[in-house]
Amino acid sequence: MDALLKERILDFHQSGMPVYLKRDAKVTHVKDMVTTIVGGRKTGKTYLTYQVIDDFIKAGKIESLNQVCYLHFDDEALVAMTPSDLTRIDSVFLSLLKRTDIERPLLFVFDEIHTVSGWEHFVLRLKKKPNWFVVVTGSTSDLEEDKVAKQLRGKTFTHRLYPLSFREFLRFNGWAGQTDRLSSGGRAEVRGLLDGYLEKGGYPALAVMESALLRQLLQNYFTSIVASDFILNRGISSPLACKTYLRNLLQKNACPYTHKKELNNLKSMGFNLAPKTIAEWFAWAEESYFIGSAAIRSASAKKISQNYRKIYCCDWAMANSVTGWPENRVSRSLETIVYWHLVRAGFQIAYDLAGPDRPEIDFVVSRPGEPPFAAIQVCADLSDESTAEREMKALAWYAKANPKVHPCVIALSPPARKLPFPVISVMDVLLELDPILAKGA
């Protein structure tokens, strides 16, 4: 084991800093705390750790990669590590350092270390050294402050990594212009890239992928997530039923969902499952960042439980590729993009129902601990008169009942005529050019 650990650590030192594209995620390190990076599979957590290491070197906290102990626990040679094996890591690493380096700040980066039992005790021991920094990553919310083992509670600082934002998608596609000063030509170019974002989704590796390969690769991603995060990690005893359930979740992307309806749906397909099983699978889907959800806006837990949830796939392009929807998918994709943009910006999101006919308000948005400041309808095409009338009618009812809330529509393209409420281009929202929904507004 010592020889294997030494080999892996030296491999990283000798190969040099891997090439990576910078993400907007800013990883903060809090004194005496373990830094955790969590997020769904394939969202780029490994490459973000390279960015963290590079930031340490550029900031002068460490001088070179020689002061970094980097291990990826998805490595087939490390998957069988035991808690006692973990205790060898720092001694092996220190044996590779010069005597003068041992007293310098050191950075330990462990990718997917939570797959090894007892890892919590190990990283806490490392963190007791005042000049040692510890960063761990994982594809599960079990690493977040409210889920970690008792030993780590209050001793971790968590960062969540989501699929690419539109700004990051532009960067990955080579766009180097100033998004806050777009010429008419630049705006047209960015608008074209927005079409690519709608088609390709937010997985970093697929941002520049050829469209011909996209569907197959996204289907492979889905299969990998099902196998790794559910069937293997959760010990699912009915894998076909679970895969069917997760596929059904993607089919309901940006749509209402209830456990009861899904239970009946699966029953009609020949799967007899207990209600508790469906509830567990839904919770695991959220915990593994496979989906996000929005509940009805209410202070009553009973009302929330009695109403449907709206669910949003972690990647709209994967939802489109895995499911065979006959209808146009742009509206669902657009609503999902806006949802994750708001989540990424740190807003709290709910939906609401307004007026006597109870039309739906897609998003009621608030800052944590504050009352809502915006009510949003998301619409791909406002040129259809009946669609525009429906969206405006819902906002009118909501604005009347909530005069302090800013009503607006986020659309893919501006309407042909002036409407009663502001219409914001989704491109301006994603580029954070709109003052109401700008990050940190």
pLDDT at residue 327, rounded to an integer: 58
**Long-range CB contact pairs, 320-323, < 8 A, 24+:** 321/214, 321/215, 321/218, 321/219, 321/222, 322/218, 322/219, 322/222, 322/247, 322/250, 323/247, 323/250, 323/251, 323/253
User: How many angstroms separate the CA atoms of 392 and 402, rounded?
Assistant: 15
pLDDT at residue 150, rounded to an integer: 61
Q: What is the per-residue pLDDT across 145-200, written as a single tens digit (0 to 9) for each?
A: 666 656 677 788 889 999 999 999 999 999 988 877 788 888 899 999 999 999 99
Phi first, then psi: give them for residue 180, nearest 5 degrees: -90, 0
pLDDT at residue 114, rounded to an integer: 83
pLDDT at residue 149, rounded to an integer: 55
Residue type, 407: P
pLDDT at residue 283, rounded to an integer: 93
Q: What is the per-residue pLDDT across 335-384, written as a single tens digit (0 to 9) for each?
A: 999 999 999 999 999 999 988 888 999 999 999 999 999 999 999 988 88
pLDDT at residue 43, rounded to an integer: 93
pLDDT at residue 440, rounded to an integer: 46
Tokens in use for 275? Answer: 């209600």
DSSP summary character for residue 18: P
User: How many angstroms separate the CA atoms of 170 and 183, rounded?
Assistant: 16
Non-local (6+) Cβ contacts of 355 within 8 A are 393, 394, 397, 398
Is 32 in contact with 155 (CB distance < 8 Å)? yes
Non-local (6+) Cβ contacts of 141 within 8 A are 38, 147, 286, 287, 288, 289
pLDDT at residue 48, rounded to an integer: 96
Is 348 in contact with 380 (CB distance < 8 Å)? no
pLDDT at residue 325, rounded to an integer: 60
User: How many angstroms separate the CA atoms of 105 and 185, rounded?
Assistant: 48
Helix (H, G, I), strand (E, B) or coil at 80: coil
Tokens in use for 284? Answer: 């695991």
pLDDT in tens, the chain (441 residues): 899 999 999 999 999 999 999 999 889 998 889 999 999 989 999 999 999 999 999 999 999 999 999 999 888 888 788 888 999 999 999 999 987 778 889 999 999 888 888 888 899 899 989 899 999 998 776 676 666 656 677 788 889 999 999 999 999 999 988 877 788 888 899 999 999 999 999 999 999 888 889 999 999 999 998 888 888 878 888 999 999 999 999 999 999 999 999 999 999 999 999 999 999 999 999 988 999 999 999 999 999 999 999 999 999 999 999 986 655 689 999 999 999 999 999 999 999 998 888 899 999 999 999 999 999 999 998 888 888 888 999 999 999 999 999 999 999 987 878 889 999 999 999 998 887 777 544
Domains of the chain, each with CATH number or no CATH: 2-161 (3.40.50.300), 327-441 (3.40.1350)
